[in-house]
Amino acid sequence: MTPLKLIFAILILLTGWTTAVFAKPTSLTAFEAKLDRHVSRFDSSGRTLAACVVDLAYEYQLPMAIEFVDRDAMRPLHVEFRNRSVRQVLEDIIRQVPRYRVTFSEGLVDIFTPESRGDPSSPLNAVIRDFAVTEQETRQADFQLLCVLSKQVYDSKFCGGSLAVGQWEPTRITLHLHNAKVYEIVNAIVAQNGRAIWTLWVRPDELSKPKSGNIWYVYPLEQPFKETVLERLAKIGR
């Protein structure tokens, strides 16, 4: 054994260092396993892009962000895919509407448009200087973010947030982010929860001047909430 290999072997024995050091967090690994699941057949059956991705989120329990919805996302799709992974089905669905994008980083499915990400008037793109929550319920973390946004961007004392009851416990959220955009923080909350989906609450053209405090909403990935999500998306995508 060469001296270098000997040193390496001693380090392994003393520190217990193995390839597991490089292993991904369990939650992220579980998320990727869901994306890799085999789908023998997927038929949109005339459902919209929005409806198709929500169907997949609830069926496969995929944490998801739907940052933007317009009429293009509410047009019927007539596509059929066979022998794909869940990830590939999502990518194929999003390709049907070229302006949309989907990513799978940071533990959630993120659906957006480059235009919406580049809109300086959107509060979702506002940069929050400091956001910290420790061991808070998902709704509390979401509530606190809207409070911070209201004070920093709107100079308002209004606080709102997602009030869907659901089975939020026992999951707790702990985050400390600096100079992060609002959508990035909501994404982090939903990804850490692991069993939630967030969508816009208002039409995209109302984001800069919302009529109410809420501009997004977080829902549990529980079947009773699926129709509520679909109804909200249909309303703002008209």
Looking at residue 120, its amino acid is P
179's tokens: 């100079």
- Tell me the per-residue pLDDT of 103-144, one tens digit each, with 9 for 90 and over: 999 899 999 999 999 999 999 999 999 999 999 999 889 989
Domains of the chain: 26-236 (3.55.50.30)
Cβ proximity of 38 and 83 under 8 Å: yes
Looking at residue 35, its amino acid is L
Residues 6+ apart with CB under 8 A from 180: 127, 128, 131, 188
pTM > 0.85: no
From 96-110, 178-192, 213-227, the region with the lowest mean pLDDT: 213-227
- Tell me the per-residue pLDDT of 170-183, one tens digit each, with 9 for 90 and over: 789 999 999 999 99
Q: Find the length of the chain.
A: 238
| Cα–Cα dist 218/183, whole Å | 12
Burial code of 7-21, b = ≥16 C-beta within 10 A, e = fewer? eeeeeeeeeeeeeee
